[in-house]
Amino acid sequence: MITHNFNDIDAQSFDDWYRHPDNRKIIERENRLMFDMIQPVRGEHVLGIGCATGQRLFKFLERGLTVTGIDSSQDMVDAAERNLGNRVDLHLGEPESLPFDDNSFNISIMVNTLELCKDYKIALEEAARVTKDRLFIGIWNKFAIKDVMIQIKDMFPQVDEKSFQLYTSSEIKRHLKSVLGKVPMEWKTIGQPGEGADNMFGDFIDRCTFLQRCPFGTFMGISVILVPSFRLRPLDMKAEKNNEALAGAI
């Protein structure tokens, strides 16, 4: 895998793709799937891991959540600051080493973040560590690689395709289960084969529960309900002997 350091040209290309009218349907459907799967509540604190230019975070602000974002590219963080102002707490950092305490956020989202991680397993572990309630992972589906690569080239025309590593839901769920145990997880897909972004039946297709279980949709959402775990350790108990009281009792 070839890693890529995103620059200001990449950030501008990313923003241009998000703002293009032809892509609005894709974004709306992805966001709808994400919100349906994690059910955010006003007042909760959400972390966007690999937030890029912050486009995905607007909807959380509109719903009254406290929002934090982190990205490994300074140019992406700078673009996010221009887009979001001071409404979001933004940080520069790697997904594999998040600068936050355990259980700092109600919700964490990773949308098209794992594809560019140096170690996706560590990134998943870090996301779970800092999150106390719900985790959403949005990925380009490995089983829809043809359509995925078209979207990647449109979104990041300057980036080598070899920089992106695609995964299946099984790979991600298998590692999460090895770390978290049997926590509740589910996956759904949208962007079914042949659907097209401008298909007049696209919204109906993406809302169909049966079709959301199709393993070939372009975009896959995986939601995880995090169950609190407790670490037990022995406590040193000091007991003072009262010899006089003991003698009087005999």
Look at residue 216 in the predicted model and tell me its pLDDT: 74
**CA pair distance 51, 233, nearest whole angstrom:** 37
Strand, helix or coil at 223? strand
Looking at residue 196, its pLDDT comes to: 55
Pair 179, 227: CB distance under 8 Å: no
The CA distance from 37 to 225, in Å, is: 10
Domain boundaries, the chain: 8-230
Give dist(CA 112, CA 164) in Å, integer: 10
Is residue 179 within 8 A of residue 124, CB to CB? The reply is: yes
- CA separation (Å) from 201 to 10, 22, 171, 215? 32, 16, 31, 19
Amino acid 3: pLDDT: 63
d(CA 205, CA 201): 6
Q: How far is CA 20 from CA 23, 99, 113, 250, in A?
A: 6, 34, 21, 89
pLDDT by residue, tens only, the chain of 250 residues: 556 789 999 999 999 999 999 898 889 999 999 999 999 999 999 999 999 999 999 999 999 999 999 999 999 999 999 999 999 999 999 999 999 999 999 999 999 999 999 999 999 999 999 999 999 999 999 988 888 898 899 999 988 888 899 999 999 999 999 999 999 999 999 887 655 555 555 555 566 665 566 677 889 999 999 976 544 455 565 555 555 554 555 5
pLDDT at residue number 58: 95
pLDDT for the residue numbered 1: 55
Q: What is the reported pLDDT for 60? A: 98
Q: Does domain 8-230 have CATH number 3.40.50.150?
A: yes
- What's the CA gap between 239 and 237, in Å, rounded? 6
